[in-house]
Amino acid sequence: MLHLRLISPAARTDEVTAVLQNSPGVTNIVVLPGAARQPRGDVVLCDAARESANEVIGRLGWLQDEGSIAAEQVDLSLSKVATDAVEEAPGAPDDAVIWEELAQRVSADARITWAYLAFLAIATQLAGIAVLQNSLVLIMGAMVLGPEFGPVAAICFGLLRGKWRLITTAFKTLVVGFAVAIAITFACALVSAWLGWIDIHNLDTNPEMEFIVKLDKWSFIVALLAGTAGVLSITAGKSSALIGVFISVTTVPAAGHIAVALALGAWHEVAPSVSQLAVNILGMVISGTVTLVVQHKFWPQVGRRSSV
């Protein structure tokens, strides 16, 4: 269930409540006349099944200009009417994509932030150390820590909606993020080489680490599967599944390998890692976009009258 808080101009509150009462899956409707101060108006509260959210938000979209719409997840709802509302709404809650929620999430993930750069730089450094030490444990840690799927999902959503500004911003975030992360890891590896801690022989990978630089048909297939799983985990709110996506793709390990190979002068190792990084991102963008298209066009959900 979702809990909705609506602020409506007093003159249009009846219109708001009529929409809520006529929408399947909406219950626990409460009206607080004159309770809102900024903006001024009536406060309307209700609970809605996830499958009904697009319908309600779509029909009350005008409140974004004249009032306010806020939604939050209800973790526990002990109510027969709430249970009946979920049953009344067509489809399954996990299948419902709340498009406005997704739009806000990917918009935030598309921006370059200090936290994003820090996490990606740390993940890439861990991957670089893992390459030098032939450590699969560190590789897995670096893959989980990497935040790069956020901009990838933003690109997918931008392609679905035709929002080229969002696509450009997310692509810039990916490029700048990996450039900064590789540069920092390169500098650290260069210092380590000057200190005599590492040399080119540290890049002699064991067979278990070859997946970082070995580009083949499986690399693209894994990226396609990961992109689909990643978008599904975001739209369905399955954060645990998203961790599996991070472990599946070799974007961060490839970036770490690029950095240490450049620092140690192993130029022949750079191109395969660049190709691996590019193919993984491309595969995730393709499958992620297709998944969103399928969810919007074919999956059962209420929000057919709201725009995407």
Q: What is the pLDDT of residues 135-153, one digit of tens each?
A: 888 888 888 888 999 999 9
Q: Does the pLDDT of residue 231 top 50, yes or no?
A: yes
Task: In whole angstroms, give the CA distance from residue 258 to residue 178.
Answer: 10
Q: How high is the pLDDT of residue 221? A: 92
Contact 307, 292 (CB under 8 A): no
Q: What is the pTM of this model?
A: 0.84
What would the CATH number be for the domain defined by 2-92?
A: 3.30.70.120
Torsion angle defined by CA atoms of residues 142, 147, 152 and 153, in that order, rounded to the nearest 10 degrees:
130
pLDDT digits (tens, 9 = 90+) for 4-16: 999 999 999 999 9
Average pLDDT over residues 262-274: 90
Q: Does the pLDDT of residue 307 top 60, yes or no?
A: no
Q: Does the pLDDT of residue 302 top 60, yes or no?
A: no
Of the candidates 145, 283, 148, 144, the one whose C-alpha atom is nearest the C-alpha of residue 227 is: 283
Boundaries of every domain in the chain: 2-92, 101-297
Is residue 305 very low, low, confident or very high in pLDDT (cuts 50, 70, 90)?
Answer: very low
Task: In whole angstroms, give the CA distance from residue 269 to residue 258.
Answer: 7
* Cα-Cα end-to-end distance for the chain: 21
